[in-house]
Amino acid sequence: MELALGAMASLAPKLGELLMQEYVVQKGLKPDIESLSTELVMMNAALIDVSRVPPDQLSEVEKLWARQVRELSYDTEDAVDDFILRVAGYDSPAADDANVFKKIIRKATAEMKKVKNSHQISEKVKDIKKLSNHLAELRAKYTVRGVGANLAASTGIDPRVLNLYKNESDLVGIEEARNRVIRMLLKGTKDHAHESDQSLKIVSIVGIGGLGKTTLAKTVHDMLKKKFFDCSAFNSVGRTPNLAMTFEKMLVELDQKYKEADMARWDVERFCNELHKFLQHKRYFIVVDDIWDKGSWEAIKYALKDNNCGSRIIMTTRNFEVVTKAEEVYRLKPLSYGKSKELFYKRIHNQEGESLDDLSGEVSIKIIDKCEGVPLAIIAIASLLVDKPCEDWSKVYDSIGFGNGDNTMKILSYSYYDLPSYLKPCLLHLSIFPEDNILDTNGVIWMWIGEGFVHLEEGEGSLFEVGERYYKELVNRSMIQPTENQLYPFTQWFHIHDIVLDLIRKFLKDENFFTILGSSEQHASSNSLRREKKTGMPRVDKVRRLAVLNHDVQQISKDTMNIPEVLRSLNIVSSTIEIMAPLHSFRACRVLYIQESNVPPISLMHLGRLLHLKYLEINETHVDELPKEIGHLKSLQALLLINIGLHELPPTVCLLTQLMCLIIEGFKRLPANRMGNLTSLEELRLKSVVGQRATEDLVVELAKLTRLRVLTITFSEELEESLQEALVQSLCNMRKLQELVLSSKMSQLQGATVWEGWEPPRQLRRLLIQGITFSRPPGWVNRSHLPCLCFLSLNVYVVVEEDLDNLVRLPELCYLELDSLSWPPGYTVGTDGFKNLRFCRVGTAFKIHVGAMPRLEELHFGVFAGHARFEVNNMPLEQYPTKDVIEALDLGLDNLLSLEQVSVLVDCLGATTAQVQEVEVVVRRAVKNHPNRPTIEMDRVYEEDMLSDEDQETLVSQCAEQHIEELVDVLEWKDKPDALFTSRLMSYRRLQDAVITINCAGASMCEVEKVEAAVRHAAEVHGNHATIQLIRINTNEMVSSSNQEAAGSAVSNALE
């Protein structure tokens, strides 16, 4: 059964601290608290054992006793916390978890004489002790049976799991299905199989849950979207669809411009009209995933009308009745035994076809057979067995209780019961999110911390690090699946399979862990919890956690939330509630989460009274006012305010000294000069910082935030050199930093060099800096300084071979985005270079050897069709035609074993039309011949600067000249930039010496010397260091500076 242990883990240390206080001794409470503490420890141990046993193997008495113990822990924690906050007031010091409790206790003891009603804690302890004695008398009757859980904790995500979800095209058994669906999409309709038919075509993929319908559809979508279509989108609908939200996400995927549009108040009709308008003349490819009912499917089809452009739609469903006669159907079948075995071994050993010993092999045959070819079941049970000794596999097989029913659900249920007790509430908590959502890993971990699910053990670092460990364990056990969000590649995401979601919501129905109100049904525990039992124990009818999902209601019924003062968590997602209880009535609330909802009456006026609140998120929901009393929330650990319709963040936010996570988006005025007060911050994300003064204040205040692990800031201003220096100084104090993302208005500086003074922490994993252009990649970007770096995005002026040598050796680098004006010609990536890179965007083409970039899936690179010389900020730059530095443009793309997508940017500067077309043909052929058949996009830049055939002949002639004689008129050239002189000489590639005649007529001496200096500089930076001779003529016609000024003044007077 679920039995997620309530508040036991956090309660034990609090009672231990309470025992040490003088007040407790004086009031004679120590024996009662000591006895209660001991009894709760014993109950907790029994509860852990019970939580490992399936509910059908427990008696009703055992179930009810366990529920009562959990409720007792909640009531006790509420009483202790309420007492501490009441006596401690609003001036509690900042600290972490257990430490903060100790400090508050010390202050509470000092202030005890001021509390008039201090006897309440005494009475409450005695009441709880009385109930615990009653429960203890019954505990001896209970015998717990079942296989114990493996509590071994892993410190990282098992790479075997990542391989299962990383690359859909490599999934076992998908090839045949994928190829069949592609043929169905690309061929003509049934009646016109050999004709060119441009009408809309729909292919429906139908099959039971867990077969991989979504994975198949996504694989086909990713393979075809850029090859044949103008735009594409992948959208999941789910069992309780919100069509407005579905259409909004669809528009954003179709075109990023909609990301900036305010669509919060659009109705379904307006979305349909917008989709009709946008798709009118486009060939689109859209996947509509996880349809459950005909009504939703018909509404979506109406929005996606046939535009006669050859568009395609894939729909996936478990329900064959949803499919219409106009659609082609692909019935997805279970895996064969051979493919099932291959997938099972791949999860166990990360190798295909590896066999086990005879005993384990015999058991595995029976296990694989019971999975019935369902990939989800195979992966789940393999993840369950991977860390267990082979001799225990038979026990697991016998314990699952396979039969004629749904074996997939039995496997997942057993996997759940096998979880350590600390993971169960974290998994159950995911039931509050709508079906088919992808979830931000960091955000969910902070919610777990706010709920009290994450607990520090002795020797562990921080709460968030422990939460990360919990997340990785759930991934390794295949209860959740890591995924990617192309819109936010620097963020870690995951999702939960809808069958697993069904499973945990079933547990919610049986146990009073979460009450969920949805648009189609209510998973409420109230009715089941109001049963009078023969044991004489009081009934349980307290709703501790409430989630309202995709639900429009006038008000939440009293049957659902009859005692608001015990509610610990309130979550409202994509819902409308017309009448809402005042916030201050939820005085025990730890988590308040409102996203994309319309709750007009909800007033934040009394927000400051929620003294237990630890997590507050308001996301894409309009709020009339954010009161200054928010500064009273001394327990608050995470504050997320995202596009709530307000422009100013109250300065009192900076009084929240226990705050560990602050995410602010959509505000124009921030208390930047007080941010340094938030010294407990571990994660800070600000979008955006507006104004020069706020920018200056913030970069200085950041120096005080020494605990930061994550720093993401968008500045609206340019970061001048002095600001960059201050920022670097502040970063030097952040020795725990793991992620740095900075964005600002593009700086016009010559190239940032102050960053060389920063020594980033070795644990830095993500580094993205936009708006600052470095002269070269900083010297510390190498494996000795940044051995953990996974994501890197920088803008630089020049990249040399040494820089690329450093990058290819970074052991963990998986995402690289490097923009530069100059690249080393023909750089070769050797064997084992970029060994973990999956995404690469660079401005040049590499020569790729066998064994290089073995995991690269997406490659964006540039090709130079012509020769160009130019100067930027007095730096002479030169690019050679790629075909001259990489023979026959043989880039070695076929050596990229995992390649799926290619994007090429052809630089046309200094090239003829024929040269550009030649490059395009060769690159397209190389991609087409790749065994993976990756998609390809090809675009041109500087097309307006292409050379005509006549220009090319002149250029070739110039390039061959070694000696030139030219005339330079000072009056014509005096205001020209130095780069123009450099570019002119650079066009003579073989130049050895030059005679330049300087016409001084009408010019001053200063102007003559300026032009001569520019010519000398151009000769110095020429690749051949050409000698130069300057000859002045018409010096007798020069004018003095004073005469020139007088002449200018006379002209000015005449004009006036």
pLDDT for the residue 1052: 43
Cα–Cα distances in angstroms (integers) from residue 365 to residues 368, 371, 918, in the given order: 5, 10, 56
Task: Between 817 and 883, name the one with better pLDDT.
Answer: 817
CA distance linking residue 92 with residue 100, whole number of Å: 8
| Cβ atoms < 10 Å from Cβ of 227 | 13
Question: Is the pLDDT assigned to residue 43 strictly greater than 70?
Answer: no
Share the mean pLDDT of the chain.
79
What's the confidence (pLDDT) of residue 245? 85
C-alpha 666: how far from its chain's center? 19
Handedness of CA 213, 217, 222, 224 (dihedral sign): positive
Helix (H) or strand (E) holding 665: strand 661-665
- Please check the confidence at residue 1051 and state whether its pLDDT lies above 60: no
What pLDDT was estimated at residue 538?
A: 39
Most confident of 51-60, 516-525, 920-929: 920-929
Residue 302 or 808, more confident: 808
**Cα(50)–Cα(58) distance, integer angstroms:** 8
Q: Specify the pLDDT at position 555.
A: 76
Q: Which H or E run includes 742?
A: strand 739-745
Distance, CA of 736 to CA of 711 (rounded, Å): 11
Of the two residues 669 and 193, the one the predictor is more confident about is: 669
pLDDT of residue 640: 96
DSSP 11-65: HHHHHHHHHT-HHHHHTT-HHHHHHHHHHHHHHHHHHHHHHTS-GGGS-HHHHHH
CA 878 from chain centre, in angstroms, equals 38
Question: Which CA distances in Å does 520 have to 236, 242, 517, 548?
Answer: 18, 11, 9, 12
572 has a pLDDT exceeding 50? yes
For residue 652, name the pLDDT band (cuts at 50, 70, 90).
very high
User: Can you tell me the mean pLDDT for 939-957?
Assistant: 76
Contacts of 31 (CB under 8 A, 6+ apart): none
Instruction: Give 237's pLDDT tier (boundaries 50, 70, 90).
Output: confident
Angle between the N-to-C axes of helices 97-110 and 8-19, in degrees from 0 to 180, rounded to the nearest 10: 40
Helices (H) and strands (E) in the chain, counts: 32, 35
For the purposes of burial, counting CB atoms within 10 Å of the CB of 1031, is it exposed (0-12), middle (13-18) or buried (19 or more)?
exposed
Q: pLDDT at position 121, please?
A: 58
Residue with tokens 């009394």, as numbered in its chain: 606
Question: Are the beta carbons of 79 and 127 closer than 8 angstroms?
Answer: no
DSSP category for residue 755:
G
Concatenated DSSP letters for 227-275? HH-SEEEEEE--SS--HHHHHHHHHHHH-GGGGGS--TT--HHHHHHHH
Q: Left, alpha or beta for 88 (phi > 0: left; psi -120 to 50: alpha)?
A: alpha
Q: If you search the block for the tokens 């020795």, which residue do you land on?
A: 735
Buried b (16+ CB within 10 A) or exposed e, 676-702: bbbebbbbbbbbbbbeeebbbbbbbbb
pLDDT per residue as tens digits for the range 592-610: 999 988 876 556 778 888 8
DSSP state of 501: H
Beta bridge partners of 548: 517, 572
Name the β-bridge partners of 969.
Answer: 999
d(CA 918, CA 907): 13
167 HSE (CA, 13 A, CB side): 20
Region 69-86: what's the mean pLDDT?
69
Using DSSP's 3-state secondary structure scheme, residue 492 falls into coil
Q: Report the distance separating Cα 620 and Cα 611, nearest Å.
A: 24
What is the distance between the alpha carbons of residues 914 and 929, in angstroms, rounded to a whole number?
Answer: 23
β-strand partners of 642: 619, 665
| Whole-angstrom distance, CA of residue 15 vs CA of residue 33 | 7
| Contact criterion met (CB below 8 Å) for 225 and 209 | no
Higher pLDDT, 152 or 855: 855
Confidence of residue 728 (pLDDT cuts 50, 70, 90): very high
Q: Is the pLDDT of residue 648 over 90?
A: yes
The amino acid at 677: N
At residue 191, φ and ψ (nearest 5 deg) are: -85, -15
Residue owning tokens 């009562």: 68
How many other CB atoms are found less than 10 A from the CB of residue 726?
19
What is the DSSP pairing of strand 875-879 with strand 901-907?
Answer: unpaired
Q: Which of 107-111, 308-312, 633-637 shows the lowest mean pLDDT across its residues?
A: 107-111
- Contact yes or no for 841/816 (Cβ under 8 A): yes
Please tell me whether residue 364 adopts helix, strand or coil conformation.
helix
**Identity (one letter) of the amino acid at 739?**
E
Helix (H) or strand (E) holding 401: none
Higher local confidence (pLDDT), 845 or 321: 845
- Provide the pLDDT for residue 535: 36
| pLDDT digits 0-9 by tens, 149-169 | 333 334 455 554 454 454 544
Q: What is the pLDDT of residue 127?
A: 61
Q: Model confidence at 816, in pLDDT bands (50, 70, 90)?
A: very high
Model pLDDT, residue 117:
44
- The pLDDT assigned to 388 comes to 79
* pLDDT given at position 559: 62
Percent of the chain with pLDDT over 70: 74
pLDDT given for residue 682 in this prediction: 96
Residues near 1028 by Cβ (< 8 Å), separated by ≥ 6? 993, 994, 995, 996, 1015, 1016, 1019
List, in sequence order, the alpha helices (H) in 155-242: 159-166, 174-186, 213-228
Place of tokens 């045959």: 365
Strands (E), 908-999: 935-941, 963-969, 993-999
Residue 426's pLDDT is what?
93
- Most trustworthy range by pLDDT among 161-175, 248-262, 520-534: 248-262
Segment among 376-390, 436-450, 963-977, 1013-1027 with least mean pLDDT: 376-390
Which amino acid belongs to residue 586? F
pLDDT at 140 over 60: no
Helix (H) or strand (E) holding 1049: helix 1041-1055
Nearest-angstrom CA–CA distance, 687 and 713? 6
Query: Virtual CA dihedral for 824, 830, 835, 837, nearest 10 degrees?
Result: 30
Name the helix (H) or strand (E) containing 503. Answer: helix 498-510
752 pairs with which residues across the strands?
774
pLDDT at 670 over 90: yes
Ramachandran category for residue 930: left, alpha or beta (phi over 0 → left; psi -120 to 50 → alpha): beta
Contact present, 446 and 638 (Cβ < 8 Å): yes
The whole-number pLDDT of residue 650 equals 94
CA atoms within 13 A on the CB side of 156: 4
What CA–CA distance (Å, rounded) separates 451 from 431? 14
The two structure tokens encoding residue 866: 């012509």
182 contacts 220 by C-beta, under 8 angstroms: yes
More confident call, 319 vs 709? 709
Helix (H) or strand (E) segment spanning residue 684? strand 683-689
Q: What is the pLDDT of residues 736-766, one digit of tens each?
A: 999 999 999 887 666 667 898 899 999 999 9
Residue 1056 confidence class, pLDDT cut points 50, 70, 90: very low
Q: CA neighbours within 13 Å on the CB side: how many for 731?
A: 26
**Strand locations in 514-614, DSSP E?**
515-517, 522-523, 545-549, 552-555, 569-573, 576-579, 591-595
Pick from 847, 876, 845, 872: nearest CA to 860: 845
Residue 444 CB contacts under 8 Å (≥ 6 apart), including other chains = 429, 430, 471, 494
When pLDDT is cut at 50, 70 and 90, the band that residue 903 belongs to is very high
Q: What DSSP element (H or E) covers 201? A: strand 201-206
> Given CA atoms 184, 185, 191, 194 in this order, what sign does their dihedral have?
negative
Of 191-195, 196-200, 714-718, 822-826, which gets the smallest average pLDDT?
191-195
Tokens coding 126: 């005695």
pLDDT of residue 508: 77
Side-chain half-sphere exposure of 992, counting CA atoms within 13 A:
4
Kind plus residue range of the DSSP H or E element containing 295: helix 294-303
Q: Give the mean model confidence (pLDDT) for residues 2-8.
A: 50
pLDDT for 437 equals 85
Question: Is residue 936 scored above 80 in pLDDT?
Answer: yes
Dihedral sign, Cα of residue 350, residue 355, residue 356, residue 362: positive
